[in-house]
Homo-oligomer: A and B are copies of this chain.
Amino acid sequence: MKRIAILGSTGSIGQSALAVVDAYPDRLQVVGLAAGENADLLAAQLARYRPRIAAMASGAALDRLKQNGAPGVVVAATGREGLAAVASHPDADLVLCASSGTDGLEAVLAAIEHGKTVALANKEVLVVAGGIVMEAARRRGVAILPVDSEHNAIHQCLHARPAAELKRIILTASGGPFRGRSASELEHASPEAALKHPTWRMGRKITIDSATLMNKGLEVIEAHWLFGARADQIDVVIHPQSVVHSMIELVDGSIIAQLGATDMRLPIQYAFSYPERWPAALPSLDLTRAGALTFDAPDTDAFPCLRLAYRALDAERSLPVVLNAANEVAVARFLEGRLGFTSIALVIERTMDAHVPAEVATLAEVRSVDAWARDYALEAARGVELKV
Protein backbone atom coordinates (compact mmCIF):
# COMPACT_ATOMS: atom_id res chain seq x y z
CA MET A 1 0.00 0.00 0.00
CA LYS A 2 1.51 3.33 -1.09
CA ARG A 3 0.32 6.30 0.98
CA ILE A 4 -0.18 9.45 -1.04
CA ALA A 5 -0.46 13.14 -0.20
CA ILE A 6 -1.84 15.38 -2.95
CA LEU A 7 -1.10 19.10 -3.09
CA GLY A 8 -3.70 20.69 -5.36
CA SER A 9 -6.32 17.96 -5.07
CA THR A 10 -9.21 20.00 -6.48
CA GLY A 11 -7.36 21.01 -9.65
CA SER A 12 -7.28 19.16 -12.96
CA ILE A 13 -4.23 17.02 -12.06
CA GLY A 14 -5.45 16.47 -8.50
CA GLN A 15 -8.78 15.12 -9.70
CA SER A 16 -7.06 12.81 -12.20
CA ALA A 17 -4.79 11.60 -9.39
CA LEU A 18 -7.82 10.71 -7.28
CA ALA A 19 -9.26 8.82 -10.26
CA VAL A 20 -6.03 6.77 -10.28
CA VAL A 21 -6.45 6.14 -6.54
CA ASP A 22 -10.03 4.99 -7.26
CA ALA A 23 -8.70 2.47 -9.82
CA TYR A 24 -6.22 0.90 -7.35
CA PRO A 25 -7.96 0.94 -3.93
CA ASP A 26 -5.79 -1.93 -2.66
CA ARG A 27 -2.52 -0.30 -3.72
CA LEU A 28 -3.02 3.42 -3.02
CA GLN A 29 -4.28 5.27 0.02
CA VAL A 30 -4.83 9.02 0.37
CA VAL A 31 -3.32 10.36 3.61
CA GLY A 32 -3.23 14.08 2.86
CA LEU A 33 -5.07 16.57 0.64
CA ALA A 34 -4.40 20.26 0.08
CA ALA A 35 -6.46 22.58 -2.11
CA GLY A 36 -6.65 26.25 -3.01
CA GLU A 37 -10.04 27.93 -2.66
CA ASN A 38 -12.53 25.21 -3.68
CA ALA A 39 -13.81 24.31 -0.20
CA ASP A 40 -16.91 22.47 -1.45
CA LEU A 41 -14.94 20.03 -3.57
CA LEU A 42 -12.27 19.50 -0.90
CA ALA A 43 -15.04 18.79 1.66
CA ALA A 44 -16.44 16.12 -0.67
CA GLN A 45 -12.94 14.65 -1.16
CA LEU A 46 -12.34 14.55 2.60
CA ALA A 47 -15.63 12.72 3.15
CA ARG A 48 -14.70 10.19 0.52
CA TYR A 49 -10.98 9.58 1.08
CA ARG A 50 -10.75 10.31 4.85
CA PRO A 51 -7.13 11.52 4.79
CA ARG A 52 -5.25 12.21 8.04
CA ILE A 53 -4.59 15.86 7.18
CA ALA A 54 -5.99 18.61 4.95
CA ALA A 55 -5.13 22.20 4.12
CA MET A 56 -6.46 25.13 2.10
CA ALA A 57 -4.86 28.25 0.69
CA SER A 58 -6.73 30.94 2.65
CA GLY A 59 -8.47 31.42 5.99
CA ALA A 60 -11.73 32.19 4.22
CA ALA A 61 -11.58 28.90 2.32
CA LEU A 62 -10.72 27.07 5.53
CA ASP A 63 -13.78 28.59 7.21
CA ARG A 64 -16.04 27.37 4.39
CA LEU A 65 -14.43 23.93 4.66
CA LYS A 66 -15.10 23.81 8.40
CA GLN A 67 -18.75 24.74 7.80
CA ASN A 68 -18.99 21.76 5.45
CA GLY A 69 -17.53 19.60 8.21
CA ALA A 70 -14.60 17.21 7.91
CA PRO A 71 -14.91 14.75 10.76
CA GLY A 72 -11.72 13.03 11.88
CA VAL A 73 -9.48 15.03 9.56
CA VAL A 74 -6.83 17.31 11.05
CA VAL A 75 -7.13 20.60 9.23
CA ALA A 76 -3.71 22.18 9.01
CA ALA A 77 -2.70 25.79 8.72
CA THR A 78 -3.38 27.75 5.55
CA GLY A 79 -1.11 28.91 2.75
CA ARG A 80 2.42 27.61 2.27
CA GLU A 81 2.58 26.31 5.84
CA GLY A 82 -0.53 24.24 5.19
CA LEU A 83 0.95 22.75 2.01
CA ALA A 84 4.21 21.97 3.84
CA ALA A 85 2.33 20.32 6.72
CA VAL A 86 0.47 18.03 4.32
CA ALA A 87 3.67 17.31 2.35
CA SER A 88 5.63 16.31 5.44
CA HIS A 89 2.95 14.30 7.23
CA PRO A 90 4.62 11.22 8.74
CA ASP A 91 2.13 8.82 7.11
CA ALA A 92 2.85 9.92 3.51
CA ASP A 93 5.23 7.86 1.32
CA LEU A 94 4.78 9.92 -1.84
CA VAL A 95 3.78 13.57 -2.32
CA LEU A 96 2.15 14.64 -5.58
CA CYS A 97 2.81 18.33 -6.06
CA ALA A 98 0.08 19.66 -8.35
CA SER A 99 -0.45 23.01 -6.67
CA SER A 100 -0.32 26.04 -8.92
CA GLY A 101 2.62 28.38 -9.53
CA THR A 102 5.39 28.52 -6.96
CA ASP A 103 3.08 28.00 -3.95
CA GLY A 104 4.39 24.46 -3.46
CA LEU A 105 8.09 25.36 -3.20
CA GLU A 106 8.42 25.06 0.59
CA ALA A 107 6.17 21.99 0.55
CA VAL A 108 8.34 20.17 -2.00
CA LEU A 109 11.46 20.91 0.03
CA ALA A 110 9.68 19.77 3.21
CA ALA A 111 8.67 16.51 1.50
CA ILE A 112 12.28 15.95 0.39
CA GLU A 113 13.66 16.72 3.88
CA HIS A 114 11.26 14.12 5.30
CA GLY A 115 12.51 11.52 2.79
CA LYS A 116 9.33 11.26 0.73
CA THR A 117 9.23 10.48 -2.98
CA VAL A 118 8.04 13.56 -4.88
CA ALA A 119 5.82 13.24 -7.95
CA LEU A 120 6.09 16.64 -9.58
CA ALA A 121 3.22 17.89 -11.75
CA ASN A 122 4.15 21.51 -11.22
CA LYS A 123 6.86 22.83 -13.50
CA GLU A 124 7.28 26.24 -11.82
CA VAL A 125 8.95 24.63 -8.79
CA LEU A 126 11.88 23.45 -10.92
CA VAL A 127 11.89 26.52 -13.17
CA VAL A 128 12.49 28.91 -10.26
CA ALA A 129 14.34 26.62 -7.83
CA GLY A 130 15.62 23.66 -9.82
CA GLY A 131 19.14 23.86 -8.40
CA ILE A 132 17.91 24.02 -4.80
CA VAL A 133 15.33 21.26 -5.19
CA MET A 134 17.50 18.80 -7.13
CA GLU A 135 20.45 19.30 -4.77
CA ALA A 136 18.20 18.67 -1.75
CA ALA A 137 16.79 15.53 -3.40
CA ARG A 138 20.27 14.29 -4.24
CA ARG A 139 21.51 14.87 -0.68
CA ARG A 140 18.51 13.12 0.86
CA GLY A 141 18.46 10.31 -1.76
CA VAL A 142 14.88 11.14 -2.74
CA ALA A 143 13.46 10.50 -6.23
CA ILE A 144 11.77 13.35 -8.12
CA LEU A 145 9.33 11.68 -10.54
CA PRO A 146 8.02 13.90 -13.33
CA VAL A 147 4.28 13.84 -13.97
CA ASP A 148 4.20 16.29 -16.87
CA SER A 149 3.45 14.02 -19.81
CA GLU A 150 6.61 15.12 -21.66
CA HIS A 151 9.02 14.60 -18.77
CA ASN A 152 7.24 11.47 -17.73
CA ALA A 153 7.82 10.22 -21.29
CA ILE A 154 11.51 11.07 -21.10
CA HIS A 155 11.78 9.34 -17.74
CA GLN A 156 10.24 6.23 -19.33
CA CYS A 157 12.55 6.45 -22.37
CA LEU A 158 15.70 6.89 -20.29
CA HIS A 159 14.69 3.93 -18.10
CA ALA A 160 17.87 2.94 -16.28
CA ARG A 161 20.15 4.08 -19.11
CA PRO A 162 23.45 5.70 -18.09
CA ALA A 163 23.43 9.51 -18.38
CA ALA A 164 26.44 9.34 -20.71
CA GLU A 165 24.26 7.63 -23.36
CA LEU A 166 21.95 10.66 -23.67
CA LYS A 167 22.71 12.93 -26.60
CA ARG A 168 19.54 15.00 -26.89
CA ILE A 169 16.06 15.42 -25.42
CA ILE A 170 13.29 16.07 -27.93
CA LEU A 171 10.24 17.61 -26.28
CA THR A 172 7.08 17.43 -28.35
CA ALA A 173 4.63 20.34 -28.37
CA SER A 174 1.12 20.25 -29.76
CA GLY A 175 1.65 23.81 -30.95
CA GLY A 176 -1.55 24.87 -29.18
CA PRO A 177 -4.61 26.48 -30.76
CA PHE A 178 -2.59 29.07 -32.71
CA ARG A 179 -0.18 26.71 -34.46
CA GLY A 180 0.67 27.99 -37.94
CA ARG A 181 -0.42 31.57 -37.24
CA SER A 182 1.93 34.49 -37.77
CA ALA A 183 2.81 37.11 -35.14
CA SER A 184 0.57 39.70 -36.80
CA GLU A 185 -2.38 37.30 -36.94
CA LEU A 186 -2.01 36.72 -33.20
CA GLU A 187 -2.13 40.35 -32.16
CA HIS A 188 -5.88 40.29 -31.50
CA ALA A 189 -6.21 36.68 -30.35
CA SER A 190 -8.79 36.48 -27.54
CA PRO A 191 -8.54 34.58 -24.23
CA GLU A 192 -11.50 32.52 -25.42
CA ALA A 193 -9.63 31.38 -28.56
CA ALA A 194 -6.41 30.79 -26.62
CA LEU A 195 -8.22 28.55 -24.13
CA LYS A 196 -9.30 26.12 -26.87
CA HIS A 197 -6.47 23.59 -26.66
CA PRO A 198 -6.65 21.05 -29.49
CA THR A 199 -5.52 17.88 -27.67
CA TRP A 200 -5.10 18.30 -23.90
CA ARG A 201 -7.68 19.42 -21.32
CA MET A 202 -5.88 21.38 -18.64
CA GLY A 203 -6.20 24.37 -16.30
CA ARG A 204 -6.53 27.94 -17.66
CA LYS A 205 -3.01 29.21 -16.94
CA ILE A 206 -1.25 26.22 -18.50
CA THR A 207 -3.59 26.31 -21.50
CA ILE A 208 -2.57 29.91 -22.23
CA ASP A 209 1.07 28.90 -21.73
CA SER A 210 0.47 26.24 -24.39
CA ALA A 211 -0.90 28.86 -26.77
CA THR A 212 2.19 31.08 -26.34
CA LEU A 213 4.59 28.05 -26.24
CA MET A 214 5.81 29.35 -22.87
CA ASN A 215 4.62 26.04 -21.47
CA LYS A 216 7.20 24.32 -23.68
CA GLY A 217 9.80 26.88 -22.65
CA LEU A 218 9.17 26.11 -18.97
CA GLU A 219 9.43 22.42 -19.84
CA VAL A 220 12.83 22.99 -21.46
CA ILE A 221 14.06 24.47 -18.17
CA GLU A 222 12.38 21.67 -16.19
CA ALA A 223 14.07 19.05 -18.42
CA HIS A 224 17.42 20.69 -17.79
CA TRP A 225 17.03 20.16 -14.04
CA LEU A 226 15.38 16.75 -14.11
CA PHE A 227 17.75 15.09 -16.56
CA GLY A 228 20.93 17.14 -16.29
CA ALA A 229 20.80 18.16 -19.95
CA ARG A 230 22.27 21.41 -21.25
CA ALA A 231 20.06 23.90 -23.14
CA ASP A 232 21.73 22.91 -26.44
CA GLN A 233 20.80 19.27 -25.75
CA ILE A 234 17.08 20.05 -25.49
CA ASP A 235 15.07 20.46 -28.70
CA VAL A 236 11.40 21.19 -29.23
CA VAL A 237 9.37 19.82 -32.15
CA ILE A 238 5.79 20.71 -32.99
CA HIS A 239 3.74 17.52 -33.05
CA PRO A 240 0.06 18.57 -33.27
CA GLN A 241 -1.30 15.06 -32.71
CA SER A 242 0.17 14.78 -29.16
CA VAL A 243 0.60 11.02 -29.69
CA VAL A 244 4.37 11.00 -29.15
CA HIS A 245 4.76 12.48 -25.67
CA SER A 246 8.48 13.07 -26.02
CA MET A 247 11.71 11.43 -27.16
CA ILE A 248 15.38 11.02 -26.39
CA GLU A 249 18.23 10.63 -28.84
CA LEU A 250 21.08 8.42 -27.67
CA VAL A 251 24.74 8.86 -28.58
CA ASP A 252 24.55 6.33 -31.42
CA GLY A 253 21.71 8.22 -33.13
CA SER A 254 18.97 5.87 -31.95
CA ILE A 255 15.78 7.67 -30.87
CA ILE A 256 13.55 6.25 -28.12
CA ALA A 257 10.03 7.68 -27.94
CA GLN A 258 7.10 7.24 -25.59
CA LEU A 259 3.60 7.28 -27.08
CA GLY A 260 0.19 7.02 -25.46
CA ALA A 261 -3.30 8.36 -25.11
CA THR A 262 -3.61 12.03 -24.07
CA ASP A 263 -4.87 11.19 -20.60
CA MET A 264 -3.06 12.54 -17.54
CA ARG A 265 -4.09 9.49 -15.53
CA LEU A 266 -1.35 7.54 -17.35
CA PRO A 267 1.69 9.60 -16.25
CA ILE A 268 0.18 10.04 -12.76
CA GLN A 269 -0.30 6.29 -12.46
CA TYR A 270 3.25 5.68 -13.67
CA ALA A 271 4.60 8.03 -10.98
CA PHE A 272 2.44 6.36 -8.32
CA SER A 273 3.40 2.82 -9.37
CA TYR A 274 7.10 3.48 -10.07
CA PRO A 275 9.38 1.51 -10.05
CA GLU A 276 6.58 -0.96 -10.78
CA ARG A 277 4.13 -0.61 -13.66
CA TRP A 278 0.51 -1.52 -13.10
CA PRO A 279 -1.97 -2.75 -15.72
CA ALA A 280 -4.17 0.19 -16.65
CA ALA A 281 -7.92 -0.03 -17.02
CA LEU A 282 -7.70 2.59 -19.78
CA PRO A 283 -8.04 1.67 -23.48
CA SER A 284 -4.83 1.21 -25.50
CA LEU A 285 -3.69 3.70 -28.08
CA ASP A 286 -4.57 2.33 -31.54
CA LEU A 287 -1.95 3.76 -33.88
CA THR A 288 -3.87 2.63 -36.96
CA ARG A 289 -6.61 5.11 -35.93
CA ALA A 290 -4.29 7.89 -34.83
CA GLY A 291 -3.85 9.40 -38.30
CA ALA A 292 -0.55 10.71 -39.66
CA LEU A 293 2.01 11.93 -37.15
CA THR A 294 3.91 15.10 -38.08
CA PHE A 295 6.94 16.86 -36.61
CA ASP A 296 7.90 20.46 -37.42
CA ALA A 297 10.34 23.01 -36.12
CA PRO A 298 8.72 25.64 -33.87
CA ASP A 299 8.20 29.18 -35.17
CA THR A 300 9.93 31.34 -32.57
CA ASP A 301 9.04 34.54 -34.44
CA ALA A 302 5.34 33.97 -33.91
CA PHE A 303 5.95 32.37 -30.50
CA PRO A 304 8.85 34.31 -28.93
CA CYS A 305 8.15 32.94 -25.43
CA LEU A 306 10.02 29.75 -26.33
CA ARG A 307 13.07 31.79 -27.32
CA LEU A 308 12.84 33.76 -24.06
CA ALA A 309 12.85 30.53 -22.05
CA TYR A 310 16.05 29.33 -23.76
CA ARG A 311 17.57 32.75 -23.06
CA ALA A 312 16.63 32.42 -19.38
CA LEU A 313 18.12 28.94 -19.14
CA ASP A 314 21.33 30.02 -20.86
CA ALA A 315 21.75 33.00 -18.52
CA GLU A 316 22.47 33.25 -14.82
CA ARG A 317 20.26 31.36 -12.42
CA SER A 318 17.85 34.17 -11.47
CA LEU A 319 16.59 34.84 -15.00
CA PRO A 320 14.22 31.81 -15.07
CA VAL A 321 12.61 33.18 -11.89
CA VAL A 322 12.02 36.47 -13.69
CA LEU A 323 10.71 34.67 -16.79
CA ASN A 324 8.23 32.70 -14.73
CA ALA A 325 7.00 35.57 -12.55
CA ALA A 326 6.57 37.96 -15.49
CA ASN A 327 4.75 35.24 -17.41
CA GLU A 328 2.32 34.61 -14.55
CA VAL A 329 1.53 38.33 -14.30
CA ALA A 330 1.15 38.75 -18.07
CA VAL A 331 -1.05 35.65 -18.48
CA ALA A 332 -3.32 36.77 -15.61
CA ARG A 333 -3.70 40.17 -17.30
CA PHE A 334 -4.40 38.51 -20.64
CA LEU A 335 -7.09 36.30 -19.09
CA GLU A 336 -8.65 39.46 -17.59
CA GLY A 337 -8.82 40.90 -21.10
CA ARG A 338 -6.44 43.70 -20.18
CA LEU A 339 -3.43 42.60 -22.24
CA GLY A 340 -3.11 41.57 -25.88
CA PHE A 341 -1.86 38.06 -26.70
CA THR A 342 1.39 39.21 -28.29
CA SER A 343 1.99 41.59 -25.38
CA ILE A 344 2.51 38.60 -23.07
CA ALA A 345 5.96 37.99 -24.57
CA LEU A 346 6.61 41.73 -24.69
CA VAL A 347 5.99 42.13 -20.95
CA ILE A 348 8.22 39.15 -20.15
CA GLU A 349 11.02 40.34 -22.40
CA ARG A 350 10.99 43.87 -20.96
CA THR A 351 11.10 42.47 -17.43
CA MET A 352 13.98 40.17 -18.34
CA ASP A 353 15.84 43.05 -20.01
CA ALA A 354 15.49 45.14 -16.85
CA HIS A 355 16.76 42.41 -14.56
CA VAL A 356 20.36 42.18 -13.33
CA PRO A 357 20.96 38.40 -13.08
CA ALA A 358 22.08 37.14 -9.67
CA GLU A 359 22.67 33.85 -7.88
CA VAL A 360 19.60 32.35 -6.20
CA ALA A 361 20.80 29.81 -3.65
CA THR A 362 17.92 30.03 -1.16
CA LEU A 363 14.13 30.16 -1.36
CA ALA A 364 14.28 33.64 0.20
CA GLU A 365 16.40 34.82 -2.72
CA VAL A 366 13.99 33.17 -5.15
CA ARG A 367 11.03 34.88 -3.48
CA SER A 368 12.82 38.22 -3.56
CA VAL A 369 13.61 38.06 -7.29
CA ASP A 370 10.09 36.77 -7.92
CA ALA A 371 8.53 39.73 -6.08
CA TRP A 372 10.67 42.24 -7.95
CA ALA A 373 9.76 40.65 -11.29
CA ARG A 374 6.04 40.65 -10.52
CA ASP A 375 6.10 44.35 -9.64
CA TYR A 376 8.10 45.21 -12.72
CA ALA A 377 5.93 43.06 -15.01
CA LEU A 378 2.76 44.65 -13.64
CA GLU A 379 4.15 48.08 -14.51
CA ALA A 380 5.27 46.87 -17.91
CA ALA A 381 1.80 45.38 -18.51
CA ARG A 382 0.15 48.70 -17.62
CA GLY A 383 2.32 50.37 -20.27
CA VAL A 384 0.87 48.20 -23.05
CA GLU A 385 -2.60 47.70 -21.54
CA LEU A 386 -5.59 47.30 -23.84
CA LYS A 387 -8.37 49.88 -23.69
CA VAL A 388 -11.25 48.06 -21.96
Q: Is the CB of B254 within 8 A of A270?
A: yes
Contact with B along A260-291 (1 / 0, CB 8 A): 11000010011001000111101111011011
Does residue A165 face the partner (Cβ distance < 8 Å to B)? Answer: yes
Q: Which of B255, B260, B277, B295 contacts A255 (CB 8 A)?
A: B260
Does residue A249 face the partner (Cβ distance < 8 Å to B)? Answer: yes
Does residue A345 face the partner (Cβ distance < 8 Å to B)? Answer: no
Question: Please, which residues of chain B bring their CB within 8 A of the CB of A258?
Answer: 254-257
Does residue A315 face the partner (Cβ distance < 8 Å to B)? Answer: no
User: How many chain copies?
Assistant: 2
Complex: A258 Cα to B249 Cα, angstroms: 10
Q: Which of B160, B165, B261, B293 contacts A277 (CB 8 A)?
A: B165
Contact with B along A226-265 (1 / 0, CB 8 A): 0000000000010000001001011111111111110000
Q: Is the CB of B288 within 8 A of A297?
A: yes
Q: How far is the CB of A293 from chain B (nearest CB, A)?
A: 4
Question: Please, which residues of chain B bring their CB within 8 A of the CB of A282?
Answer: 253
Q: Which of B251, B256, B280, B290 contacts A295 (CB 8 A)?
A: B290
Task: Show 16 A/B contacts (Cβ-Cβ < 8 Å), sorted by A.
Answer: A159-B160, A167-B279, A167-B284, A247-B259, A251-B280, A252-B270, A252-B277, A253-B260, A253-B266, A253-B282, A254-B260, A255-B285, A257-B258, A288-B297, A292-B292, A292-B293
